[in-house]
Amino acid sequence: MIQLKQITKSFGSHRILKGIDLQVEDGQTLAIIGPSGSGKSTLLRCLNLLEKPDGGIVQIGAHRYDSSHITKEEMLEFRRATAMVFQGFNLFANQSVINNIILPLRVRKKCDKEKGREIALRLLKQVGLADKADAYPSQLSGGQQQRVAIARALALQPEVILFDEPTSALDPELVNGVLDVIRSIRSETMIKIIVTHEMSFARDAADAVIFLEDGQIIEQGSAHEVFDHPKQERTKKFLQNFQRA
């Protein structure tokens, strides 16, 4: 389970997150939606401590981040509970596809080469790229690169997998292949959190949705509640813009 209590974050004098409270149950998919600049990426980055919240508590399973005190070791443990998939894929350009998966496994999970290879091949098969194991990232389409990045994240068996607009850098015809892979991740326990502008995906893939604006959760509920029966005017307006687009 993830629990956030009163998370705040500022950059300089600019308050970006203004007290976020949130709970996500094991195995659930949470979609974060909201306008540009509302703090979605910052919130996601606070979940894996790429950004350290200024105040509040982040609890992921047994790992707890309390902004007032945390040791380096606790911070590492905390980071290891999560894996992030970025908009721009962030693969190692000078490593083959399979090594992109094996190397983090060796570092983070202390896997030997054989075991790493076995895990990587299984995951490449799962994302439909078994035949690309020895290719280099530059030889793949954006959609394929993103599927490798997802396989790499899954290999680490994180408690939480974080996606920051995983399809927004892709040509339209490649988007669905990546969304299908995300949808197909089945786990009883792993939590998926996805920042997305793909509203129809959020509607059918997410268990819960939050609408973030100006560093605050304006609305939250099931996908059905938020998309079909939004209570707040600001949510309605935001969603209308998407329906028109």
Ligand X SMILES: Nc1ncnc2c1ncn2[C@@H]1O[C@H](COP(=O)(O)OP(=O)(O)OP(=O)(O)O)[C@@H](O)[C@H]1O
Binding residues for ligand X, per CB under 6 A?
11, 16, 34, 36-42
Give, as one character, the DSSP assignment of residue 51: S
Give the span between the Cα atoms of 62 and 190, in whole angstroms.
Answer: 14
Question: Least Å distance between CB 165 and ligand X?
Answer: 6
Question: Least Å distance between CB 148 and ligand X?
Answer: 22
CB-based contact 206:223 (threshold 8 Å): yes
Residue with tokens 């819960």: 208
163 to 192, contacts with Mg ion by CB under 5 A? none
> Quick one: 120 or 239, whose CB is closer to ligand X?
239
Name which of Mg ion, ligand X, none residue 242 binds, using a CB cut-off of 5 to 8 Å depending on partner kind.
none
CB-based contact 97:148 (threshold 8 Å): yes
| 229 burial via Cβ count (<10 Å: 0-12, 13-18, 19+) | exposed
Question: Least Å distance between CB 195 and Mg ion?
Answer: 6
Question: Least Å distance between CB 118 and Mg ion?
Answer: 35
- Buried-state track 110-130, b at ≥16 Cβ within 10 A, e below 16: ebeeeebbebbbebbebbbbe
> Quick one: 21 or 134, whose CB is closer to ligand X?
21
> Quick one: 104 or 215, whose CB is closer to ligand X?
215
Sketch the per residue contact string, 25 through 54, with Mg ion: x for CB under 5 A, - otherwise.
----------------x-------------
CB-based contact 191:30 (threshold 8 Å): yes
Question: Least Å distance between CB 37 and ligand X?
Answer: 4
Name which of Mg ion, ligand X, none residue 38 binds, using a CB cut-off of 5 to 8 Å depending on partner kind.
ligand X
- Residues in touch with Mg ion (CB under 5 A): 41
